[in-house]
Amino acid sequence: MLRKKAIVLGMSGLVVAAGVVFSVKAAQADSDLSASDISKAKISLVKASELALKEAQSGKVVAVDIDDEGSSLRYDVTVLTDKAEKDYTIDANSGEVLRSSNEKLSSTDTEEKELAKASPKISLSELQTSLTKKYSGYKVVNVDLEYKGTKLVYDVELVSDSKEIKAVVDANTGKVTKEQTVSLNQDDDRHDEDHDED
């Protein structure tokens, strides 16, 4: 059911109770946006997550990504509770909620229910800060929170003006356990590195 199968980031303050999720896909560039494109957004990824959580009134942010729709930048945010999945589309300039949906979870949606209860020690704000320091010149495109076995991780996607990095980050320690860099223009692998056995 999740819009993007489990990363975005656990958040501080209002959002600290909310795990946040972003996604990693195949070994090719997934984003059509560059760092320069994302820099035009007036609302940050963290702020968009806070706005969605406020709209939902309760729950945990488990997925956030930024994309363009026509000439407008928009965030898609997924909030989970133990009973429902709520999706929001938020204008990246005004913060206006453009669309929303609410779908009840069924007894078979065990992954979603587990994510709704997850408590990552690294917040979304902390994750974004550490990633932008580690990867200078890159912007976070999306984050998904997921379990890999029993380990809670963030799957993160970042872009510069020419490359895309897909990284897996331990949601409790903040350690990058895997990263891969691909060209935004050529869709070919430039770098693929595992930092531990996961």
Average pLDDT over residues 39-55: 94
Average pLDDT over residues 122-140: 93
Per CATH, the number for 13-194 is: 3.10.450.40
Q: What is the 3-state secondary structure (H, E, C) of the chain?
A: CCCCCCCCCECCHHHCCCCCCCCCCCCCCCCCCCHHHHCCCCCCHHHHHHHHHHHHCCCEEEEEEEEEECCEEEEEEEEECCCEEEEEEEECCCCCEEEEEEEECCCCCHHHHHHHHCCCCCEHHHHHHHHHHHCCCCEEEEEEEEEECCEEEEEEEEECCCEEEEEEEECCCCCEEEEEEEECCCCCEEEEEECCCC
Residue 29 has pLDDT above 60, yes or no: no
pLDDT at 107: 87
Residue 160 has pLDDT above 60, yes or no: yes
- Boundaries of every domain in the chain: 13-194
pTM given for the model? 0.77
